[in-house]
Amino acid sequence: MRDPEKVVLQNDAHADFLRGMNGVPVQTEYEVLHLMRQCAAQFGFNHFMIARFPLGEHQRFAERLVLSSWPADRVRRYDQAAVFGASPLVERLRHTKLPVFDDTAGLMQPASAEKSDLSWDGMGWTLAVHLHTTYGESFIATLSGVRAAPDQNEAALIYVALVGLFEHLERTFEAGASARDKLSAREIECLRWAAAGKSSDEIAIILGISVYTVSSYFKTATRKLDAVNRMQAIARAMRLKLI
């Protein structure tokens, strides 16, 4: 049985975190990522993820992913397993607006009898919520870890925290949308070829320009997309449907 005094102190700490989070000016996706890390730690989770809600069973996870603290290898293996849209946890979220707390296997395994061989150390349980932008686009946000199920009050606080963070994230979408008008045709070409797996040397040959110029296009595109590196710039350009 949980100590009532400890529960009160814990909820007070959560409430303080929410007040602090709402007062933070957030302008970039990187700042949202930092807040998400703080949120996961505040509520006793190890990992988090925000992705566009899968519209069908066969949509690739990597193409829907927006923010995540999952290791790159886990993202790759989960994407290859192609179980995101077919998982029981996602199916539950299709039918409720309430937070869902379940074994992480419900996210990592397909709903069919066939099982994937994914293993997820430190992610035994997942709390997931179904969120929507102002314009109705659906997203899924998850917090995963090895902690016990939250009670009703804590679940409500977690939900409020995720909604607040998602609102911050949506503002970065609006800011990022302006990049669509700022990127030059050459910058988009370089990002498109890089997304196809081409190196800077190969892109230079394809476009008939110098490697130095290719690097310059990547630098300006990364800045315009408010990304921290080339890979994030490519991912953000894909989400904005620029490439």
Structural domains in the chain? 4-175 (3.30.450.80), 179-239 (1.10.10.10)
- Note the pLDDT tens digit of each residue in 13-64: 777 777 777 777 777 778 888 899 999 999 999 999 999 998 766 667 888 8
Q: Which of 117-121, 198-202, 220-224 has the lowest mean pLDDT?
A: 117-121
Three-class secondary structure of residue 89 per DSSP: helix
> CA-to-CA distance for 43 and 40, rounded, in angstroms?
5
Percent of the chain with pLDDT strictly greater than 70:
85
Three-class secondary structure of residue 142 per DSSP: strand
At residue 62, the pLDDT reads 83
Strands (E), the chain: 47-52, 65-68, 100-103, 125-132, 138-145
Confidence of residue 131 (pLDDT cuts 50, 70, 90): very high
Three-class secondary structure of residue 225 per DSSP: coil
Top mean pLDDT of 1-15, 86-100, 219-233 is at: 86-100
Taking the model in full, what pTM does it have?
0.69
Burial 195-206 (b: 16+ CB within 10 A, else e): beebebeebbee
Phi-psi region of 32 (alpha: psi -120 to 50; beta: other; left: phi over 0): alpha
> CA-to-CA distance for 137 and 235, rounded, in angstroms?
18
> CA-to-CA distance for 45 and 150, rounded, in angstroms?
11
Confidence of residue 158 (pLDDT cuts 50, 70, 90): very high
- Note the pLDDT tens digit of each residue in 161-217: 999 999 988 887 766 555 566 888 899 999 999 988 899 999 999 988 889 999 999
